[in-house]
Amino acid sequence: MGQRDQSAGAESALPAVNGEYMLEQTAALCRIPSPSGFTRSAIDYVAEELGRLGIPTARTVKGALVASFPGGDPELGGRTLSAHVDTLGAMVKEIKDDGRLKLTRIGSYDWATIEGEYCTVHSAGGSREITGTIVTTKASAHVHGVQLSRLKRDETSLEIRLDEPVRSASEALALGIQVGDFVSLDPRTTIAASGFIKSRHLDDKACVAILLGVARALMESGECPIAPSALFISNFEEVGHGSSAGLPDGTVELIAVDMAAVGKGQTSDKFAATVCVKDSSGPYDFELSRRLIELARANDIDCRVDIYPEYASDVSQALRAGWDVRGGLVGPGVDASHSFERLHRTSLEETARLLLAYLLAA
């Protein structure tokens, strides 16, 4: 992206966003295990951070987090920004005779993307953490030779090897491991000096961090959104029902803040924000999308317009559940999504600025 003109007109006078803060919050969130269905710690963390910023929160029955900003003209329709704190993960499907664990996936990803990954089994109701590695049943090159390269990676060929002296199912059971235990993947979160962060689960923890960055910018500047505005941190998006229930009262416009799909044929970029106008669930609201694109232009924000071929969002899920809202989709460019993800601080900043422009404009 080019240099930003700091002397731009009054319309560009957005509250300052703190890229380092959002990067740190992204990393902190990525390090809290939260596969869909096992998100309480991550939700607690976000509630605590919003509380620290002076924003009270409430929980929905199914455990999502809602926070309202002060102010806003009640005559205007309510605006809600959502991001999901749940991630991909797995569950123990079966304890094998040799004490290794068969998996069932939580969320959609290719089995090949978890081969070799360190993981944690959350047993005994989540109170005991037992680490391991996801390996294939033919992992040893010196035993199986070329068979490994011909092996299809799926639920029959990948298993957890526990970091415990386990040789039988009964020894695994004795550790407290049971069918149905959640399994989280080691995020391997790393921040590079260049401003990149590489980690699993940037989808969508980077966007939860963006919402924290937006909240911090508003609270520090003392500026209030023009309409009643709220944050919604959903906790079941990766399995298809993130914001299907419990949206804040009065929500008329819902912006899903979720990663932009970077790759061949896409306009989305690792240093930019994207307004997605269509994904697998169909077009997003035309006028709301146009407004977002125009706000980006007016505020000199590097923002792309894109279509995601294999994608759905909190907005898709809310609309399918019957919510009568206008939906938009905005997010930072993430490379290699649902795999070995990476994003740059600049895309966090551009997305946060676009969201601030949206909240502060009529």
Q: Which residues are catalytic?
A: 237
Is residue 181 within the footprint of Zn ion (CB under 5 A)? no
Is residue 204 within the footprint of Zn ion (CB under 5 A)? yes
**End-to-end Cα, the chain, rounded Å:** 27
Closer CB to Zn ion, residue 203 or residue 349? 203
Is residue 258 within the footprint of Zn ion (CB under 5 A)? yes
**C-alpha span between 218 and 248 (Å, rounded):** 19
Residue from the set 49, 86, 117, 203 that interacts with Zn ion by CB under 5 A? 203
Preceding amide of 204 cis, omega within 30 = yes
What length does the chain have? 362
Is residue 285 within the footprint of Zn ion (CB under 5 A)? no
Number of residues this chain uses to bind Zn ion (CB under 5 A)? 3
Of 256-264, 268-276, 317-325, 327-335, which segment contacts Zn ion by CB under 5 A? 256-264
**C-alpha span between 323 and 247 (Å, rounded):** 9
Choose among 248, 244, 217, 242: nearest CA to 230: 248
Given the structure tokens 């002076």, which residue do they identify? Answer: 54
- Name the minimum Å distance from CB 154 to Zn ion: 23
Of 3-11, 51-59, 113-121, 250-258, which segment contacts Zn ion by CB under 5 A? 250-258
DSSP letter at 75 equals T
**C-alpha span between 208 and 237 (Å, rounded):** 13
Closer CB to Zn ion, residue 109 or residue 132? 109
Is residue 86 within the footprint of Zn ion (CB under 5 A)? no
Residues facing residue 318 across a β-bridge: none
- Name the minimum Å distance from CB 204 to Zn ion: 4
Preceding amide of 300 cis, omega within 30 = no
Closer CB to Zn ion, residue 29 or residue 160? 29
- Name the minimum Å distance from CB 341 to Zn ion: 10
Instruction: Report the interface residues with Zn ion, using CB under 5 A.
Output: 203-204, 258
